[in-house]
């Protein structure tokens, strides 16, 4: 059975356009409710969080209607980071967790992510079974067994305390001036609170959500506002989150950006020195830079690569018993502390390294020289398959031949947007640009 609705991170798309309609959200809620309340008993729970998108209200209500119609009791958290949903699903003994967010996407998009009772994202098999239920008749609960919905007012504070507990005991951020960019998203309250309570001088950016400004000119996908704030205030470091706060980019005191690869390199090296890195292994995706792999190898550490998507990183970590992984895009997963990527938690680990070493952010943010990497995105209409076109396949084959022994090539469809991602790495930058341009051009012609 194939998955038609679910991508690499739940169901995602433009609000009020299939599949992100209120009707589909209601059916998703009902199908998920039927899947988890399969014993006919009352008392089953689901927690729902969301980011700050305007459409979040619509999907929250539709999901609640679907879930309660099958007898699930719904606990509404309001705007909270995605990792808070994973945490609270387990701590509140829920059967299911749902996050309404399209992460780093523009405000017009939205998404629905599912977490199992263990706080981890649902497996592909579970998503297939939920899709199968959607396609059939979903049996509602009897009238006396319809579920209830309740607002949970302290979910944000529970998450704040959990994140603070991961910071080294007794350590404070006194004397550090920190820019925190919350992307006008889900962490707009919790992130500044955590940093202030730990003693930092906080300079907030992107903390005035209005429903349509999430990720707009701010956050981990556009760090210019944070960089300017660093320069204006003479800050020591910047932490830039995305719309649902499961990604992070770190900015040093000059405003230069350290991506997920550099952050993972720092953490892997430090954890290995402290005998905390299980199996001497870091898990990352095929998108991570070859420079990261070389950096780890010089320290006797191993890089385990997975398909793109933090859920696949987590699945590999659980299979191998490893405790550190992530993506170049800024998902940093530390299973000692959380069940999914947590940008704020990763930012605190970086701040702890600054305090423990006494080094500035710039000294910790550049751990290896990157191999030149180029990524081009080509948008296509949903339903098209540009990678099947003969000229595209020919361009890819020619590039693979030219790169043999000189670099890497990765061509894939995005799991969250209708984009073909054309990525290559090569020491020869001229060859790199030419090959990526040729493949991207062939894809563009095909669409």
Burial 175-212 (b: 16+ CB within 10 A, else e): ebbbbbbbbbbbbbbbbbbbbeebebbbbbbbbebeee
Cis peptide before 19 (omega within 30 of 0): yes
Euclidean distance between CA atoms 384 and 193, whole angstroms: 45
Tokens of 35: 């899947």
Range of the domain at 232: 158-247
Instruction: Give residue 9's pLDDT.
Output: 85
Q: CB–CB of 181/239 below 8 Å? A: yes
**Which pTM was predicted?**
0.91
pLDDT in tens, 32-41: 999 998 787 8
* Inside any domain, residue 306: no
Place of tokens 């530390």: 334
pLDDT of residue 378: 95
pLDDT band for 414, please (50, 70, 90 cuts): confident
Residue 1 pLDDT > 60: no
Q: Please tell me the distance from the alpha carbon of residue 122 to that of residue 190, in angstroms, as a whole number.
A: 26
Cross-sheet strand order for the sheet of 324-326? 302-306, 281-285, 324-326, 332-334
- The CATH number of residue 218's host domain is 3.40.120.10
- End position of a domain, from candidates 217, 247, 277: 247
Residues 38 and 71 in one domain: yes
* Helix 390-403 and helix 429-446, axial crossing angle in degrees, nearest 10: 170
Q: How many domains does the chain have?
A: 3
pLDDT in tens, 289-301: 999 999 999 999 9
| CA separation for the pair 116, 254 (Å, rounded) | 41
**DSSP classification of residue 145:** G
- The label of the residue with tokens 């099947």 reads 388
Average pLDDT score over residue span 248-275: 98
Q: Say if 317 falls within a structural domain.
A: no
pLDDT of residue 407: 87
Q: How far is CA 81 from CA 88, 376, 432, in A?
A: 11, 29, 37
Please determine, for residue 3, whether its predicted confidence score (pLDDT) is greater than 80.
no
**What percent of the chain shows pLDDT beyond 90?**
91
For residue 416, is pLDDT > 80? no
Picking from 247, 275, 292, the residue at the C-terminal end of a domain is: 247
In the chain, % helix, strand, coil (3-state, to 5) comes to 40, 20, 40
Reported as a pLDDT band with limits 50, 70 and 90, residue 60 is very high
The percent of residues in the chain predicted with pLDDT above 70, rounded, is: 99
Looking at the predicted structure, is the pLDDT value of residue 263 above 60? Answer: yes
Catalytic annotation, residues: 103
For residue 13, pLDDT over 60 is answered with yes
Q: 71 lies in a domain? A: yes
Domain end among 86, 121, 153: 153
Specify whether 74 is located in the same domain as 142: yes
Same domain, 377 and 394: yes
220 shares a domain with 137:
no
Query: What is the chain's mean pLDDT, rounded?
Result: 95
209 and 86 in one domain?
no
Give pLDDT, residue 2.
56
Segment 353-357 shows an average pLDDT of 98
Q: Please say if the pLDDT value at position 330 is more than 70.
A: yes
**What integer pLDDT is reported at residue 40 of this predicted model?**
75
Could you give the CA distance from residue 30 to residue 428 in angstroms, rounded to a whole number? 53
The tens digit of pLDDT for each residue in 122-169 reads 988 999 999 999 999 999 999 999 999 999 999 999 999 999 999 999
- Cα–Cα distance, 116 to 121 (Å, whole number): 6
Q: Is position 191 within any domain? A: yes
Residues 74 and 189 in one domain: no
Cα gap 114→131, rounded to integer Å: 13
> Is residue 163 in some structural domain?
yes
Give 284's strand partners: 305, 326
Let me know whether 84 and 210 are in one domain. Answer: no
Q: Residues 341-364: what's their mean pLDDT?
A: 98
On the question of pLDDT at 373 being above 70, the answer is yes
The CA-CA-CA angle for residues 135, 58, 382, to 5°, reads 55
Best CA proximity match to 30, nearest among 70, 57, 76:
70
pLDDT above 60 (res 110): yes
Tokens representing residue 198 in the block: 């730990």
DSSP string, 184-228: TSTTTTHHHHHHHHTT-EEEEES----SS-TTSS-STT--HHHHH
Select from 120, 145, 135 the least CA-distant residue to 43: 145
| Per-residue confidence (pLDDT) for residue 384, from 0 to 100 | 86
Note the pLDDT of residue 62.
98
* pLDDT for residue 4 is more than 90: no
Give bridge partners of residue 98 from the DSSP assignment.
48, 114
Domain-located, residue 257: no
Residues 147 and 220 in one domain: no
What phi and psi values does residue 339 have, to the nearest 5 degrees?
Answer: -100, -5
Co-location of 389 and 441 in the same domain: yes
């Amino acid at each position: 059975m194939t998955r038609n609705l679910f991508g690499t991170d739940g169901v995602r798309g433009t609000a009020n356009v299939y599949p992100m309609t209120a009707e589909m959200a209601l059916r998703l809620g009902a199908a998920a409710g039927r899947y988890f309340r399969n014993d006919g008993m009352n008392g089953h729970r689901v927690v729902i969080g969301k980011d700050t998108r305007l459409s979040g209200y619509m999907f929250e209500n539709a999901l609640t209607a679907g879930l309660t119609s099958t007898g699930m009791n719904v606990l509404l958290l309001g705007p909270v980071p995605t990792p808070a949903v994973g945490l609270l699903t387990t701590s509140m003994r829920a059967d299911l967790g749902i996050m309404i967010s399209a992460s780093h996407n523009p405000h017009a998009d939205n998404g629905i992510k599912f977490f199992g009772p263990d706080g981890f994202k649902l497996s592909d098999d579970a998503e297939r079974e939920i899709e199968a239920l959607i396609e059939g008749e979903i049996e509602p609960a009897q009238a006396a067994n319809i579920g209830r919905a309740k607002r949970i007012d302290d979910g944000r504070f529970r998450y704040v305390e959990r994140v603070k507990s991961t910071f080294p005991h007794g350590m404070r951020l006194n004397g550090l001036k920190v820019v925190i960019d919350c992307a006008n998203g889900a962490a707009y309250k919790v992130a500044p609170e955590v940093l202030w309570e730990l003693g930092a001088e906080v300079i907030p950016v992107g903390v005035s959500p209005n429903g349509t400004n999430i990720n707009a000119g701010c956050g981990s996908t556009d760090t210019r506002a944070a960089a300017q704030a660093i320069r204006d205030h003479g800050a020591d470091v910047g932490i830039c989150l995305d719309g649902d706060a499961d990604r992070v980019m770190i900015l040093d005191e000059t405003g230069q950006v350290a991506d997920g690869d550099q952050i993972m390199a720092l953490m892997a090296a430090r954890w290995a020195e402290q005998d905390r890195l299980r199996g001497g292994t870091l898990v990352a995706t095929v998108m991570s830079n070859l420079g990261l792999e070389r950096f780890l190898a010089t320290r006797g550490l191993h890089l385990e690569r997975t398909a793109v998507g933090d859920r696949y990183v987590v699945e590999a970590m659980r299979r191998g018993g490893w405790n550190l992984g992530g993506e170049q895009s800024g998902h940093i997963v530390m299973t000692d502390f959380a069940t999914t990527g947590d940008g704020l938690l990763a930012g605190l680990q970086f701040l702890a390294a600054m305090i423990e070493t006494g080094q500035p952010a710039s000294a910790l943010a550049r751990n290896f020289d990157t191999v030149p990497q180029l990524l081009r995105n080509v948008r296509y209409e949903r339903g098209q398959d540009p990678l099947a076109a003969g000229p595209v396949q020919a361009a890819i084959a020619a590039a693979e031949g030219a790169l043999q022994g000189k670099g890497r090539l990765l061509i894939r469809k995005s799991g969250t947007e209708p984009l073909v991602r054309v990525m290559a790495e090569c020491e020869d930058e001229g060859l790199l640009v030419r090959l990526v341009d040729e493949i991207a051009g062939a894809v563009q012609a095909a669409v």
